[in-house]
Structure 1
Amino acid sequence: MTRPLRIIGVPMDLGADRRGVDMGPSAIRYAGLDRQLTDLDYDPTDVGDLTVARPEVGDPDAVTPETGRAKYVAEVRDVCTRLADEVADTLEEGAFPLVLGGDHSIAIGSVNGSARDADVGVVWFDAHADFNTPATTPSGNVHGMPVAAFLGEGEFADTDWAEAGVKEENVALVGIRSIDETEREALRDTDVSVFTMSDIDERGITEVTEDALDVASDGTDGIHVSLDLDWLDPNEAPGVGTPVRGGVTYREAHAALERTARRDVRSMEVVEVNPILDRSNRTAELAVELAASGLGKRII
């Protein structure tokens, strides 16, 4: 039997400081996503893209006590609120939500939707910790804040659009190698599990991934998987806005997502593909391959 799956595009680059990731959903679709999903016995329905305000018509400097120095936060809040509704409705209708970004700030909406009526753990494959708040951010870019946001840190506490009710002890960050000092200090005071690239070097990708999945699945109803393509080394994924040298390899990434597919994954997003910076849509094609591995594709 085929399993229903809903593709939700979120062409947003308001949370980043480099234009281009708004074209990520189109690039991923063009790379053959629908065909891969069909081959995996999913029944994909593409609901198109959420409407997102252009940076030219937004206000990056609108500041409130809640938003602090976060740029375009009113526009990000609007998109994430609508995305949360879309993800929650998808799950309620028995389909799997696959969200295509867009910058990583959209994860605030994805996680909130997935956790609306369930206890959810999160596995965060990323080069960055994304644990800044409006008060601590050095850049003001919301794509550096989503983990702090859905955990209700700082100015995000008690917000009806950001804090998702996810427990810190059910969040695992995997492959981290670029972290601000304020993020480092803040994370040390939480129960969030952080697995760095050094952990992967020392212990191997499969062991680290299994530990992360154990963290996210402990006492939860399922796992939300967030895949930022800058998690990979830039030699593998050149088309990302914030590349960091020393990331995971092609095979390490597939091994991690293949392990992930064996667990109870209830929702997934693939973000930060920037076609402007890519080479022949290589990064989007890799995004499709990794999504397929995360949804059950095997070599044999």
Structure 2
Amino acid sequence: MKVYFPQWQGSGNGISIEHGAKTILNHLNDDSIVQIPLSKIPAGESGAQKYRINNFEAITEQLNRFKQLISGAKPSKLQIIGGDCGLEIVPVSYLNTIYSNLGVIWFDAHADINRPCDSPSCNFHGMPLRALLGEGEDAMNHLLFSTIKTSQIHYVGLRDIDESEQKRINEGGIYAPKKWTTLELIGTLRQKGITHLYVHFDFDCLEPSDYDKTYYQVPNGIAIQEAENCIGTLQKEFTVVGSSVLESITTLQKELDPIKGIIDLQMR
């Protein structure tokens, strides 16, 4: 199942993320894509914080819609066009109930593993992995189909990490090498007995000089060709049952040209 879910409220004020998701949707031009409407609860500058999470009510309302859609459809595969990284708690926790050996590949400049009490921004797109571990805000636990383990998380392109996030990564022995290769990543996955993957892709993992139409630009990122090669190899070596393309902000089709290879790999 392919799902268009342009959630932006998890970023705080980043409505440009919704516009960027729409640009990718238009590029794909696929009538089979299911669209999830966003909440009409005020968000952004008019939004309210609850449990130290900005736009809490809007986020939980629309994530519940996402969960209900999946609960009814019961897909064996999910491909998500979004949207901010906070939406990942639903598809990852769902697929984790189907595949007992699911590995999560997190292409991202950021760790996204803060608790609300530790988050400097209080934006939920910096918290999804902590929620997926069952260590987030209790009032959001009903949105999860299951929780994952630290051994399932594998970061690629990580380089902007809060102190509290680094502590959790260290405590959990989470795969987060400063330097990585596709072969080394594959070896790690095989050693763990992982055969199925969810591949999360936040475009800010890329080197900004290659692609800078992202909500954040973080220097020293992954080259586009390197990302394409890695994704293609993972698809050959494992069964990819879930994938996403997130947090691009361009509204111009021509500006998608550098990343069309990644989008098409993730959504094929």
Range into which the TM-score falls when normalised by the shorter chain: 0.7 to 0.9
For 1:163 and 1:184, how far apart are their aligned partners in 2? 26
For 1:101 and 1:89, how far apart are their aligned partners in 2? 21
Matching residue of 1:40: none
2:112 match: secondary structure: coil
Question: Percent identity at matched positions?
Answer: 23
Matching residue of 1:45: 32
Letter in 1 for 2:209: N
Is 1:20 the counterpart of 2:7? The answer is no
Is 1:149 the counterpart of 2:144? The answer is no
- Shift of the 157–260 alpha-carbon distance from structure 1 to 2, 3 Å rule, reads farther
Report the TM-score when normalising by structure 2: 0.87
CA shift at 1:167, angstroms? Answer: 1.8
Is 1:101 the counterpart of 2:82? The answer is yes
2:176 match: secondary structure: strand
Q: What is the 5 A alignment of 1:260-279? A: 260-262=234-236, 263-275=238-250
Is 1:128 the counterpart of 2:110? The answer is yes
- Shift of the 174–93 alpha-carbon distance from structure 1 to 2, 3 Å rule, reads closer
CA shift at 1:24, angstroms? Answer: 2.7
Matching residue of 2:48: 61
- Shift of the 11–261 alpha-carbon distance from structure 1 to 2, 3 Å rule, reads same
- Shift of the 235–139 alpha-carbon distance from structure 1 to 2, 3 Å rule, reads same
| Count of paired positions | 264
Give CA deviations for 1:95-122 in whole Å, capped at 9, x if unaligned. x321111111111122122223332321
Matching residue of 2:170: 188
Unaligned runs of 5+ in 2: none
CA shift at 1:221, angstroms? Answer: 6.2
**Residue 183 (structure 2) aligned to one of 207, 210, 213:** 207
- Shift of the 229–158 alpha-carbon distance from structure 1 to 2, 3 Å rule, reads closer
**Residue 117 (structure 1) aligned to one of 94, 98, 119:** 98
For 1:140 and 1:281, how far apart are their aligned partners in 2? 34
RMSD: 2.6
Unaligned runs of 5+ in 1: 1-5, 35-43
CA shift at 1:191, angstroms? Answer: 3.4
**8 Å contact from structure 2 (residues 245, 266) kept in 1:** no
**8 Å contact from structure 1 (residues 128, 179) kept in 2:** yes
CA shift at 1:220, angstroms? Answer: 5.0
Report the TM-score when normalising by structure 1: 0.78
